[in-house]
Amino acid sequence: MHNLDFSSWHNLLVTMIGLSLITLIGVGIRLLMMVVIQQRRERMNRQINERLRTLIAAYRTLGGSFTGNLAVDPRHRRELRSVPDGDTPDSLPDSADTGGMAGSDRARRIRDAVEAALSDIMLLGTEEHVRLAERAARELVAGQLVHTHDLVVSLRSFIRRALDLDPIPSDLAIPMQGPTRTQGTGGRNKEDGKKEGTGNAGGGGGGMQSGGDMAAMGDTGMNAHESPSAH
């Protein structure tokens, strides 16, 4: 303020220009800082949203069932071929206990989905999630039955806190949760096969009709050549 000079129009003009430049520089720095902070905040929000989306999908995969067999069968088809009929390890479920799912295509799809969900949790989960997922993965590698209920409870609590939801009341007795039972695509393949079969049948009918037309044209030509000799 002591350097401001209003004694003449020239000094007043210089002073106003100087104040304008200082104001513009300050506003520009402030706008730049706001843009940088906004971009960083948007990037963090995208990361949080992607993380929550992935963990919610993993929660649905690992805890989408409340009834039936809630354990993951780690066996592969090659392991089932090496096991004699009627010889089932003690640590693995029998077909009668799992509704015929042991070693079936549905059990294989459930195991693959659980493995993918565990991989996502190891990438984006908290330390507690990673430890529980690592333990489940080791049990799968060891060929043991895997129950995902503890991991599902931990995911559920974390997701509710991240979404600012109230915790689940402690007086509720939520049943044990297990992996989601995936649906097969056998019906769709059968329908596609029927459609393809219908199309082939239609093509065959068209070929037969074309062959009949050609035969009729041949008979007409032969009759035309024979008619002069008849006279």
103 φ/ψ angles, rounded to the nearest 5 degrees: 75, 0
Write out the two tokens for 163. Answer: 């979404």
Write down the pLDDT at residue 24: 93
Contact 152, 63 (CB under 8 A): yes
Predicted confidence at residue 107, as pLDDT, reads 84
Phi, psi torsion values for 169, nearest 5 degrees: -55, 140
Q: What is the DSSP string of 124-182?
A: HS-HHHHHHHHHHHHHHHTT--EE-HHHHHHHHHHHHHHTTPPPPPTT--PPP-B---P
Determine the Cα–Cα distance for residues 52 and 129; give it in Å rounded to an integer: 13
pTM of the model: 0.61
pLDDT at residue 201 in the model? 45
Q: What is the DSSP string of 33-62?
A: HHHHHHHHHHHHHHHHHHHHHHHHHHHHHH
Mean pLDDT of the chain: 75
For residues 99 and 73, the answer to whether their CB atoms sit within 8 Å is no
Most confident listed range (65-69, 182-186, 219-223): 65-69
Q: Are 209 and 99 in contact (CB under 8 A)?
A: no
Least confident of 5-19, 20-34, 183-197, 213-227: 213-227
Task: Decide which of 69 and 98 is more confident.
Answer: 69
Position 97 scores a pLDDT of 41
Q: ∠ CA 182-144-124 to the nearest 5 degrees?
A: 60
Torsion of CA 115, 181, 164, 125, to 10 degrees: 0
**Model confidence pLDDT, tens digit, residues 168-194:** 998 998 999 999 987 655 444 445 555
Other C-beta atoms within 10 Å of 121: how many? 26
**Is 143 exposed, middle or buried, given 0-12, 13-18 or 19+ CB atoms closer than 10 A?**
middle
Q: If you average pLDDT over residues 132-140, what whole number do you get? A: 94
> Hey, where are the domains in the chain?
8-73+104-163
Rounded CA gap, 121 and 59, in Å? Answer: 9
Average pLDDT over residues 100-115: 76
